[in-house]
Amino acid sequence: MAPSLFEKINTLISANLHGIVDRALEANSVQVMDEYIRQVERNLEALEDSAATVGGTVKTLKRKYEEFAASAEKLDRDIDTLIVKGKDDLAAAAQAELNTKQQLAQEYYEQWQGQEGQYQKMLDMRLKLESKLTTIKQEREHLRALIELAEAKKVTLKTVKSLDQLASTGDEQVNSLAERIRANIDREDARLDMATANLSDQIDDAVRGGEVERQLDERRRRLLGNSGS
């Protein structure tokens, strides 16, 4: 994925929703929020396309690694058999081939792990961006209602710069709706923080667990192979 797309998405993710709402309120229009929504949707689509491409690469690299690793494992056992049978020339040739396969397997493994990390990062970014999009769409409707309510009650918006100022106009209904918008945004931000933290923990646990299991499987295959020689 192009670095410029990463930068755009990080900018959208880090956007202060309170600030966007305040700018829309100051302009007495939800167009500011609409523009943010369009940008998020456009970049979210690009992110999903890129993530699908990287995800496919991850699967390919993993498959290649497993193929070479399995082939190297079989060749390793065959070399033992050749040595036992005294076929040293064949064993030497097989050993050279094993070295090549092990090197390729290692290269594919490193590429796979690198791309896997990139893929998980993109999934994490998508989660954050989708959460932002859901929140801003919900608060767009609340703000539109708030603007209409303020106008109906003759509350001037020309001097209002933020939800904090609007909430201090003294009108109970306007104040309640403004406070509700602020609380919703705060709650969704907190929920996003927790979801992101949980996802990171799950990814770390899965990666560590998968690596340990892979190492144990390798040991089981080696030990069982030796015992059966």
Q: Where are the domains of the chain?
A: 3-227
Percentage of residues in the chain with pLDDT exceeding 90? 28
Residue of 185, 167, 184 whose CA lies nearest to 176: 167
CA–CA distance, 39 with 129 (Å, rounded to integer): 11
pLDDT at 219 over 50: yes
> Do residues 136 and 33 make contact, with C-beta atoms less than 8 angstroms apart?
yes
Grade residue 228 by pLDDT with cuts at 50, 70 and 90: very low
Q: Count Cβ neighbours within 10 Å for each residue of 80-98 and write b for 16 or more, e otherwise.
A: eebeeeeeeeebeebeeeb
Residue of 95, 73, 85, 87 whose CA lies nearest to 226: 73
Residues 6+ apart with CB under 8 A from 33: 20, 21, 24, 136, 139, 140, 143
pLDDT mean over 193-220? 58
pLDDT at 229: 43
pLDDT at 205: 56
CA–CA distance, 13 with 229 (Å, rounded to integer): 58
| Distances 178 to 25, 45, 78, 136, 182 between C-alpha atoms, Å | 10, 32, 74, 15, 6
pLDDT at 174: 75
Beta-strand (E) ranges in 17-72? none
pLDDT at 226 over 70: no
pLDDT at 200 over 70: no
pLDDT at 148: 79
pLDDT mean over 43-57? 92
Residues 6+ apart with CB under 8 A from 204: none
| Mean per-residue pLDDT over the chain, rounded | 80
For the chain, the maximum distance between any two Cα atoms, rounded to a whole number of angstroms, is 100
List pLDDT tens digits, range 63-93: 999 999 999 999 888 888 888 888 888 888 9
Grade residue 37 by pLDDT with cuts at 50, 70 and 90: very high
Question: What totals of helices (H) and strands (E) does the chain contain, helices first?
Answer: 6, 0
pLDDT at 214: 61
Percentage of residues in the chain with pLDDT exceeding 70? 74
CA–CA distance, 163 with 55 (Å, rounded to integer): 42
CA angle in degrees (0–180, nearest 5) for 26-32-35: 175
Grade residue 223 by pLDDT with cuts at 50, 70 and 90: low
pLDDT at 106: 93
CA–CA distance, 59 with 54 (Å, rounded to integer): 9
List pLDDT tens digits, range 100-158: 999 999 999 999 999 998 898 899 889 889 988 988 898 888 888 887 777 766 665 55
CA–CA distance, 46 with 51 (Å, rounded to integer): 9
Both structure tokens of 64:
């290649």
pLDDT mean over 17-34? 86
Grade residue 40 by pLDDT with cuts at 50, 70 and 90: very high
CA atoms within a 13 Å half-sphere pointing along the CA-CB vector of 69: 17
